[in-house]
Structure 1
């Protein structure tokens, strides 16, 4: 018997089925699976023209900065908040005089205290940095917060210098710019600081230089020694830390723990970068009770004005701070003058 091969039209089933009338479907053609050929990438991020320009730069949100030490004079001085620049402080330059009498003896009039008026010179610190609006919108870190921190650090540095060497013209008057004399407290005019000589021009004495430091401590009256501190820069401190007694012991005493400060002759040392280096006739070391001896007057807060209108397309951050300072009690601070 001969077998017949039935060849049918692929569309015949579509027309023969009543339920599919009116619809035409294309036949499914199966093709064998093939593995695509490997191709080398032509776009890379290494050359800028080959695609590197399309990859955005990633900037760390933490910005490193050059560290500038702010003066710690504010932490050891007397600080008062004021409401206006017309601030005055009265201080007595002499005390009440008393006397001994018998039961029936007359009581003559005694001396009354003398007053001196202290008026700290005031000045206004300001900063006015600007940033474009696009920078504020698109930067990868908080530009406003960063500028605020930078302004605060700069204000602390600038006022710290003024507390030490300011001339009092639109700024605080530093304690190193006060009048100085070698005379003792009872004979020296009020407002004049006493200095102790180092024993050599522009240097410490060649023999027993620590003796002048001891003289400096005891030149300060005993009521002021409680809470007195040394003030000098790190270069001067490095020289003093090498001083030894006759038996070879260092006069510098390291702290026994993190809560106990290092001391010099029993008193804490405060490093202030604004203090001058040792030179001829320089006043490079101060010792005293700065809570009693130096007064800082200030407005309570720093004022910041954000100005996006004056200089488009830049946004200005105008910050101001009013600060004053002066010597309050000239008997509470002693200086070392590097001279014979």
Structure 2
């Protein structure tokens, strides 16, 4: 028996039994949303298509730390200080040392949704798989929206992007936790006229050495086009092209990730990020995209209502550095 419940339909049917005036029901593998929410069966191939496109198209998702959660009330603890030690002689007393301080990270959550429709005649007669095509289109749009939110989201019904975090020019030892460090480019709205690559080197070494293992550059293609023209005093380009799939393009020895959501170079803009995003940025998501196939509420159209709950926030503010285009 296959039980199907929704706001517009409730009943129990025998799979494969023909009912006069209706086509025979075909039993398929389905996932079910909670009955109280009026869920319908979700074709597995649509769900898989959306998830696959998201992983391929969202650049921040590919470098950040991603966790799967069961609700919007996800919290993560992080230590902001380490254990303090000291030297003593063999018989000297051992005074109590400081214990680590903790901070709670609660990534803001939001819900992405899409509700495209196709007529039943198109689904029946089209010369291509409309459901797969709609799944890919939804996936691309979800990836675009996520990419913007992970970079610059304000945290209101969406993730809080790393560019929305507070910033300061002070170093890790004196900067408040949760505040990202900035390094000036040397000129307002651009790079310094002489030796502009020196500020990029400053940005690299503003990041503590434990974080530089696995660090990447994040910028958009327009900013990268400027940097690709930088040369050392002997005429060598500081940007190195990738020679194969296992050897990505590098800048000063670190991989470059192009994110279209990063701002163009402008006065006081934060157009370049450098850091270890696995340690520095947290993405919290539900385990799956929920797709409701609804052929009933708007006949003769079939709606594919897709939702996905995603959150994001800076996890460790010492792991990401930003370049501010200021003098």
- Same fold per TM (> 0.5)? yes
Structure in which a larger fraction of residues adopt strand: 2
After TM superposition, give the deviation of residue 163 of structure 1 in Å: 0.3
**Matches of 1:229 and 1:240 in 2, distance apart?**
15
Instruction: Give runs of aligned pairs for residues 126-205 of structure 1, distance below 5 A.
Output: 126-205=113-192
> Residue in 1 aligned with 2:7?
none
Pick the aligned partner of 1:250 from 237, 245, 250: 237
SS of the residue corresponding to residue 329 of structure 1 reads coil
Pick the aligned partner of 1:303 from 280, 290, 299: 290
SS of the residue corresponding to residue 330 of structure 1 reads coil
**Matches of 1:261 and 1:136 in 2, distance apart?**
41
Q: Which stretch shows the higher mean deviation, 153-162 or 214-223? A: 153-162
Contact 1:71 1:274 in 2 (8 A): no
SS of the residue corresponding to residue 331 of structure 1 reads coil
TM-score (norm 2): 0.82
**Matches of 2:125 and 2:206 in 1, distance apart?**
61
CA RMSD of aligned residues (A): 1.4
**Matches of 2:181 and 2:274 in 1, distance apart?**
11
TM-score (norm 1): 0.79
SS of the residue corresponding to residue 335 of structure 1 reads strand
SS of the residue corresponding to residue 176 of structure 1 reads helix
Contact 1:71 1:161 in 2 (8 A): no
Unaligned runs of 5+ in 2: 1-53
Pick the aligned partner of 1:87 from 69, 74, 79: 74
Instruction: Give runs of aligned pairs for residues 210-289 of structure 1, distance below 5 A.
Output: 210-289=197-276
After TM superposition, give the deviation of residue 97 of structure 1 in Å: 0.3
Matching of residue 100 in structure 1 with residue 87 in structure 2: yes
Summarize deviations over 1:175-205 as a string: whole Å, max 9, x none: 0000000000000000000000001010000
Contact 1:279 1:338 in 2 (8 A): yes
Summarize deviations over 1:88-121 as a string: whole Å, max 9, x none: 0000000000000011111111000000000000
Task: Specify the structure having the higher radius of gyration (Cα).
Answer: 1
Matching of residue 337 in structure 1 with residue 324 in structure 2: yes
Instruction: Give runs of aligned pairs for residues 8-23 of structure 1, distance below 5 A.
Output: none
> Residue in 1 aligned with 2:47?
none
Pick the aligned partner of 2:104 from 95, 107, 117: 117
Unaligned runs of 5+ in 1: 1-67
Summarize deviations over 1:32-74 as a string: whole Å, max 9, x none: xxxxxxxxxxxxxxxxxxxxxxxxxxxxxxxxxxxx9933110
Query: How many residue pairs were aligned?
Result: 274
